Structure 1
Amino acid sequence: MFSKNKTKISIPAVVSSLIFTQNRKAMQIFPESLREIWNEWELRAMVLISLALQAILILIGNWRKHSTSNILRIVLWLAYLSADSVATVSLGILSSNQEDSEGDSVNPNFVITAFWAPFLLLHLGGPDTITAYSLEDNELWHRHLLGLVVQVIVALYVFIRAWSSEVLNFLAIPVFVVGIIKFGERTWVLRSASSEHFRESMLPPPDAGPNYARYMEEYSSKKAEGFRVEPKTFIEAPPDHSYAVQANESSSAQDAAVLSKAYILFETFKRLCADLILTFHDIENSQSFFKNKTYEEALEVIEFELGFMYDLFYTKSLLVYSGVGGILRCITLSFTVCVFLAFVLITEKQEYMKVDVIITYILLVGAIVLEFYAVVVILSSEWTRLWLSKHKNTAVDLLHRAASSIPWIKDKRWSNTLAQYNLVTFCLKERPAKCIFINEDLFINRLLEKYRYTDLMDVSKELKNLIFGQLLDKLGTASNFEASRLKELCAQRGNRVLEKAKCLDDLGWTINGAEFDQSIILWHIATDLCYYSDLNRNRDLDQSLNFEASRVLSNYMLYLLVMCPFMLPNGIGQIRFRDTCAEAKEFIAERKSITDAKKACTMLLKVSTDILPSKVKGDRSKSVLFDACRLAKALQSLESKGHWENNEKKWEFISHVWVEMLAFAANQCRWSDHAQQLRRGGELLTHIWLLMAHLGLTEQFQISEGHVRAKLIVE
């Protein structure tokens, strides 16, 4: 037992005193009766809150993979940030309560509260479903390692101070083991997912190549002996990159076969997430696989791959679904259950306060429930289904069927939604703020306003088919895997479509002569103007795939520009958008007859654009409102002059321009920004990025001749 003098200078006491000095001073302003209630219930409340936060994290931690709800994100963010703080503060309270024990006797109330310390370590370990809220959290693994050391010291300090050789003291030991395992798991997973260590794990073993010095010694020796020596080189066969994986024939699962193929592809293409280069053979084998698939099969594989990527960066999957992880899960579950049973059988509970005994039961039952729930999540996960599909025996097949029957096994792998943002609708202010107390000039109001004008819609099968077909069409223009041609195709952002339709002379200024953000706003407004103009003339157009797809992709690209500018190439998109909105609002305000988007677009098309807007306005304002009117009129003019056979051909052209812009944006976006969106329900842009990489439409690959080897021919 530590003496009081040693306690004053111990590290845990210093840490806890720093945490609570200000807190205790602040409580002096409250009445004494309230302070007494607070001192009595402070620790109990904090421990229960810590358990509740763990329940929230494990229950909804994985929902963000397929949910775009902002409310869910806020709740999860608050729970994630609060969980560690509450557990740490609770340990600090336990540490500061040491002063209540005097001499060699230990207060029974402190014995049972000290039993809660290892549970707080377990809470600091976090659930399996969320280890990192964002990618940046993985980079802070050093901080978590330091936290692991400090918090274990604090918990041990509390444990040793409360030691009185009672049964409860001995029961705390296995819970300590569980807590340290959980906390250690989280730290190890964060370290493994950090950029430095993840990249390092992707690097192949060092290869010095053939021994050149020995080769030349042999060459010189044979030549000196009078032999005619001729060096010959040959290329070794590349390693087998087959993606054909046999699934369990007795299992229900063509789905399992797709899952197996997706995992093999993921193991190769996760190098993209480490900024490493793919080989020619990786791309070639991937191409041959995807070229023979329908859009549904191809995108299903992509969904599985991105699911694996999410688990890798944001959960404990890397450890949990390994042999070591299985052993650790058995240890933590069995230890927790045994401690609970032992605590139930303890008869000497009368010396403890009844409320503390109840809270202890809650902590034990909560730990067991969370452990069993974690096991159910493990059994129902795609990783478990992947493992089961690779083993053939009756027991495994039964387990596979049981796992597949779990209700949430077929949950969505991503949100399958497209965000929509429309400039004209935003400028009309059709959706006023609900809270009249927030000043319009405040940042929070401007932020809420952006979200207020953001809509969501499902990604239709027709749209997926259109995108997949256009990517295959683009790939078809590069025969025999021309590396230079593939990289050239990655840089095209609409000009290929214009050139193919022989519109480059008329419309090339919107693509080649403009920055990418400028092209997005130009084509977005022009698409809207043509949309309402053609809808007035032909009501049947709303059944046209290209007609609807053009507007959906137009609104999606503007959403990316306004809400996710980090996913697009650098530029002044925000400035250009604001200036264009300012000019549009001014135009609308001067015409009282404009009450909706349809009338606004009709009036904009009536404005004469015979003189270039830049010649009238100069270049101070970055607005492109009337440049977009010029584009819309050019599109309508090309149709009226017979450039296209019918109206549908024009919309097919516009939709293809948008698909190529989308592909360009996907390829230009950094992998880290794609990975960040996985925790927000996923983005269509991310799916296109990975699909393009599989098709070879990426710059992250190199062509090599293979493993060249040399040997001496002695004659």
Structure 2
Amino acid sequence: MNLIPASWKIQWDVWEVQMLVLLSLTLQIILFVFGKRRKNISSQWINVIVWLAYIMADWVATVALGKLSRTLNNIPNPNNALQALWAPLLLLHLGGPDTITAYSLNDNQLWIRHFLGMGVQAIVAIYVIVMSWRHFWFSFMLIPAFVAGIIKYGERTWALKLACYDESKSIVPFYDLRVPDGLAKKTRCEIVLIMAHKLVMEFKDYVENYDIRRSSFKLRYAKNFQDVINLDVYKYFENVLEVEMGLMYDLLYTKAPITFSKRGCIFRSISFMCTVSVLVGLFRLIAKWHKQHYSMVDIAITGVLLVGALALEIYAVILLIFSDWTMIWLIKCGSGKWAIRLWQKFPWFFEKKKWSKKMGQIDLLKKEDKHKKWSRIVGRLGIQDKFYRYMRTTSVCIHPRLYPMIVQFICSAAATDNLIDFGWLEGVIGSTPFHELVFIMHIITDLCHRYDDTSKSESDLESVACTSENSENSANSRGHDDDKETCKTLSNYMMYLLLTCRWLLPVVVSDSQLILVMNDVKLFSRYINEQVTGRRMFPMDMRRITELAVTRDEEGRKMEKIEETSVLLQAIFSDLIDEGNMEVKWEKLKNVWLAMLCYAAISGPKNYHLQQLREGGELLNLVWFLIPQSHIFDIVNTFRLNSFFNQCFQSMPHV
């Protein structure tokens, strides 16, 4: 018994090539639209869509070419000349859109496979052309179509090779151009673009030996930049780093190294003119079309393929015109005023964000929502831990005050080894593995946050009758609130990185170990919510909760990690609430989280930072870009900074 009816099989045999060709065009449109959006949008759904389209695009085009060669060889038909045109158009699809050449960095390493694949597919396309050749003028349209397809496929392979092997910085467009009139008369926008372009040229080579202990990253003419930016260095540098991250993404994951080169422009023009000539030939064929010769469906499909290819090409050119690379080229050619005019006249075409500017958040001690129905399903599938992380994950926009806090902390840390006061946390930082330190500080921050909130609410009730408030106390309160929210945000962010992106961190820990600790913290959180609700937490509450967590468990097992750190948690929490001055308490906690953030940035695997650019980027990536480049503008001394972090985290090896 056949599951598929015979009539369906017959229809599939008749229409399979047409459906595969249209599916290939659809996948190209999806890649074009969503391939660029992943640069500045952090979304799992976009990543999944792009991944599926990227995997399927090459496979569908290759299968369609094979089916087409078999169909044209076995079935002589007047439509052969028309369907043979689909073969070079499929080569054009295999070349992919400008917005994405590689899904990940590993794809750049496979450029040889793409090169060999291009050779094989070109032979198949030539075979299709030869087998379908007729003594008819339209057959000559196959030649420009083939040229356009080979050029597009070659562009992709060339871009992959350049991203893998960069010789003499040739991957960076306009690397040999210089600013004609210096920077003295340039606007802020022009200076930011020029600085970002200079930095990305030098930093790309430095990435191979990323180490802030070495002075291998240098930039010529840095003094010229210092003379221009003066006291506004921090804000300038933030904008420069964001533009640099965007440029680095373009170099690694798009055709930017090709499209902004002289040879790339020549090849693009040839490809465009070839496609236009084929479309004109199709229009002429339609004008002289006779029903007995050509299928209306095949003509419509051919028209859709050609119009779709030209539409994608035209829109790609529009995006190129309004890209940062074009602005850099105009500035370096002495036409910076045109760049400013373009930006002022068409602001909606320019990217307002160079990366996502969001921070993932996971709060393990937040009261757990009930998802009983889903919990049973995922429990049977064995993915309850991943489901728990997914349901706990949220995101927040990065607060404008956070970046100045990071820069000020780095400056203070590099200025002197003893300026940053960690107080009672110095021993904890220097003797605890990084992943355990994240869990401990996450618990401590949450407990302090709870204690501070209940204390504040009680004090507000006591002073409800007071209407006069000192302005100085109000300012101190705002600073205290900023530090408190910064600590909470960084705490949830580091927990998010540890549980979902631990490859970015300097940790060597298995997923099972993380799950064990995470489950202990979840139970510990439940005990906190059971014991303390709506009132201030005291040291005796902390002691009772830790004792309860160590001795009680639904499954009868001891919470080993909580038992190991219970005394430490009690001591730290007691010292915190005995501190008296809440501003000092939150200042110390903020310093700890900022130190952990910076240490994680400079000690984690470097390739994963570049990998993360394709998912919208992370704050950790921005810090990774910031630290080694900051000494160029005399922001910090990176030698002292490295010494400071090594002293803080002596027991944590570099990865």
What amino acid does structure 1 have at the position aligned with 2:205? R
In structure 2, the CA distance between the partners of 1:522 and 1:587, relative to structure 1 (3 Å rule), is: closer
Per the normalisation by structure 1, the TM-score is 0.76
Q: Which of 349, 361, 365 does residue 289 from structure 2 map onto?
A: 349
Query: How much has 1:576 moved relative to structure 2?
Result: 5.0
Inter-CA distance 601–54: structure 2 relative to 1 (3 Å threshold): farther
Which structure's CA Rg is the greater one? 1
Partner of 2:619: 684
Question: Which residue of 1 is the match for residue 175 of structure 2?
Answer: none
Alpha-carbon distance, 1:634 to partner: 2.6
2: CA distance between counterparts of 1:507 and 1:580?
A: 21
2:414 and 2:641 in contact (8 A); partners too: no
Alignment partner of 2:4 out of 13, 18, 30: 30
CA distance in 2, matches of 1:471, 1:449: 35
- SS of match in other structure, 1:122: helix
Does residue 166 (structure 1) correspond to residue 136 (structure 2)? The answer is yes
CA distance, structure 2, for counterparts of residue 604 and residue 364 of structure 1: 75
Aligned twin of 2:601: 666
**1:244, 1:294 → 2: CA distance?**
23
Say if 2:69 is the partner of 1:91.
no
Q: Whole-Å Cα distance in 1 between the matches of residues 310 and 184 of structure 2? A: 33
Instruction: Please tell me whether the aligned partners of residues 89 and 149 of structure 2 are also in contact (alpha carbons under 8 angstroms).
Output: yes
User: Partners of 1:60 and 1:700 in 2: how far apart?
Assistant: 43
Residues 1:695 and 2:634 are matched in the alignment? no
**2:348 paired with 1:430:** no
Q: Tell me the CA shift for residue 325 of structure 1.
A: 1.1
Give 1:271's aligned amino acid.
Answer: D
Shift of 1:167: 2.4
Moved more, 324-333 or 571-580: 571-580
**Corresponding residue to 1:548 among 448, 469, 485:** 485
**Where in structure 2 are the equivalents of 1:299-314 lying within 5 Å?**
299-314=238-253
Structure 1 residues 43 and 424, CA, compared in 2 at 3 Å: closer, same or farther? same
* Corresponding residue of 1:175: 145
Q: 2:342 aligns with which of 396, 402, 409?
A: 402
- Answer with 450-459 or 277-286: which moved more: 277-286
8 Å contact from structure 1 (residues 419, 456) kept in 2:
yes
Aligned counterpart, 1:557? 494
**In the TM superposition, what is the alpha-carbon distance from 1:59 to its structure 2 partner?**
1.4
**Shift in Å, 1:546:** 0.3
In the TM superposition, what are the counterparts of 1:378-389 in structure 2 within 5 Å?
378-389=320-331
Q: Distance in 1 between matches of 2:133 and 2:319?
A: 37
Distance 1:429 1:620, change over 3 A: closer
RMSD: 3.6
Q: Give yes or no for the alignment of 1:462 onto 2:396.
A: no
Match of 2:273 among 331, 334, 359: 334
Q: Residues 280-679 of structure 1: matches in 2 within 5 Å?
A: 282=218, 289=226, 292-346=231-285, 347-350=287-290, 351-392=293-334, 397-398=337-338, 401-402=341-342, 405-406=345-346, 407-425=348-366, 428-430=367-369, 432=371, 435=374, 438-477=377-416, 500-501=420-421, 503=423, 506-539=424-457, 544-572=481-509, 574-575=511-512, 577-587=514-524, 593=530, 605-608=541-544, 623-624=561-562, 627=565, 630-631=568-569, 633-637=571-575, 640=578, 646-679=581-614
Aligned equivalents of 2:44 and 2:108: distance in 1?
A: 23
Structural mapping, 1:95-244, within 5 Å: 95-101=69-75, 106-194=76-164, 197-198=165-166, 201=168
Structure 1's unaligned 5+ residue stretches are 1-26, 204-241, 478-488, 490-495, 703-715
Cα distance change of structure 1 residues 604 and 90 upon mapping to structure 2, 3 Å threshold: farther
Q: Distance in 2 between matches of 1:353 and 1:635?
A: 80
CA distance in structure 2 between the partners assigned to 1:423 and 1:108 by the alignment: 68
Contact persistence 1:262–1:305 (CA under 8 A): yes
Letter in 2 for 1:54: Q
3-state SS in 1 of match to 2:395: strand
Deviation at 1:609, TM superposition (A): 8.9
Specify the code of the residue in structure 1 equivalent to 2:78.
P
1:462 counterpart letter in structure 2: R
Deviations 1:316-371 (A, max 9, x none): 11111111111112112222122212221223432110011111110111011011
Task: Please name the residue that 1:259 is paired with.
Answer: 193
- Whether the aligned pair in 1 keeps the contact of 2:109 and 2:160 (CA below 8 Å) is yes
TM superposition shift of 1:444: 4.2
**Residues 67-98 of structure 1 deviation map (CA, whole Å, 9 limit, x = unaligned):** 11111111111111111111001001101113
Q: Percent identity?
A: 34
Q: Deviations over 1:428-474 (max 9, x none)?
A: 43152674673315344432331211110011011111111111112
Q: Find the aligned partners of 1:689 and 1:328 in 2 and give their Cα distance.
A: 37
Is the contact made by 2:138 and 2:281 (CA closer than 8 Å) also made in structure 1?
A: no
- Distance (whole Å) between structure 2 residues aligned to residue 300 and residue 605 of structure 1: 47
- Report the CA distance shift for 1:152/1:298 in structure 2 as closer, same or farther (over 3 A): same
Q: Deviations over 1:157-194 (max 9, x none)?
A: 01100000222211111111110001011111111112
Counterpart in the other structure of 1:62: 36
Which stretch of the first structure deviates more once superposed, 562-571 or 61-70?
Answer: 562-571
Q: CA deviation at 1:286?
A: 5.8
Deviation at 1:32, TM superposition (A): 2.1
Structure 2 counterparts to residues 262-281 of structure 1, below 5 A: 262-275=196-209, 279=215
Structure-2 change in CA distance of 1:623 and 1:508 (3 Å): same
SS of the residue aligned with 2:31?
helix
CA 1:612–1:606 in 2, change beyond 3 Å: closer, same or farther?
closer
Shift of 1:57: 0.9
| Conserved 8 A contact 1:560-1:568 | yes
Q: Is the CA contact (8 Å cut-off) linking 1:258 and 1:301 kept in structure 2?
A: yes
Question: Please, which of 17, 23, 29 is the counterpart of residue 43 of structure 1?
Answer: 17
One-letter code aligned to 1:299: E
2:315 and 2:100 map into 1 onto residues whose CA distance is: 14
User: Which position in structure 2 is the counterpart of 1:212?
Assistant: none
